[in-house]
Amino acid sequence: MFVQYWSAEYDYATDSDLYTPHIGKQLTPETVRELFLWKNGSKLSVAKQQSVEQNYVGRLQELFDLSMDTPPAEFLKTFGGGAIWRIFWLHCWQPSRYPIYDQHVHRAMTFIQSGTREEISSWPDARKIDTYLVRYLPFHSSFEAFDQREVDRALWAFGKFIKGSRIPELATPAGLDSA
């Protein structure tokens, strides 16, 4: 119920223009730029454009040369940029294997698991990466019976909702099972 309900609440206007046409397809300089524009949610600042060019577009051949069995921790050490963007780059490389991770899906995960809201915005990159690898990947895999993109949408929408709502934190997470 959770995935169906919350994925229907997902509303991200640029999905069909910038994300859906490019994800899971051959990455080119232009598709990488479009995907990061989508991830940013708005026009990229000059500094962010430079980061995309330097860390991702300029290193496409390096990405293509990687073994598909490269462990995610090694992958995330190989490329530069902030933790969330490196994790997104991992997702772009193997979208069916590595889910998207950001503040909203993290908030959704912690609320589902413990009934509390946990924010990652002030965390150092190493902690974000460790949390993605150790906590978020196993949590996300608990939804393996569902379409993974629907899961991403549901968690994002739920996490965004609880950020802006006055929903009380729970002593125990009741009624938030993954079914």
Whether 91 maps to a domain, the answer reads yes
Reported confidence tier of residue 179, pLDDT bands at 50, 70, 90: very low
Q: Assess whether pLDDT exceeds 60 at residue 22.
A: yes
- Is 74 within a domain? yes
Q: Give pLDDT tens digits for 36-85.
A: 999 998 899 999 999 999 999 999 999 999 999 999 999 999 999 999 99
Would residue 19 count as lying in a domain? Answer: yes
- How many structural domains are present in the chain? 1
Give the H/E segment covering residue 164. helix 148-164
Place of tokens 């934190």: 169
Domain for residue 169, yes or no? no
pTM of the shown model: 0.90
Q: Helix, strand, coil: what percent of the chain each, to 5?
A: 60, 0, 40
Tell me whether residue 179 is in a domain.
no
Report the distance separating Cα 147 and Cα 71, nearest Å: 23
Q: Does some domain include residue 9?
A: yes
Q: What is the mean pLDDT of residues 28-42?
A: 95
178, pLDDT greater than 60: no
Q: Would 92 be classed as within a structural domain?
A: yes
Residue ranges making up the domain that contains 30: 2-164
CB of 55 closer than 8 Å to CB of 79: yes
Q: d(Cα 40, Cα 42) in Å, to the nearest integer?
A: 6
Higher confidence at residue 130 or residue 168?
Answer: 130
171 within a domain of the structure (yes/no): no
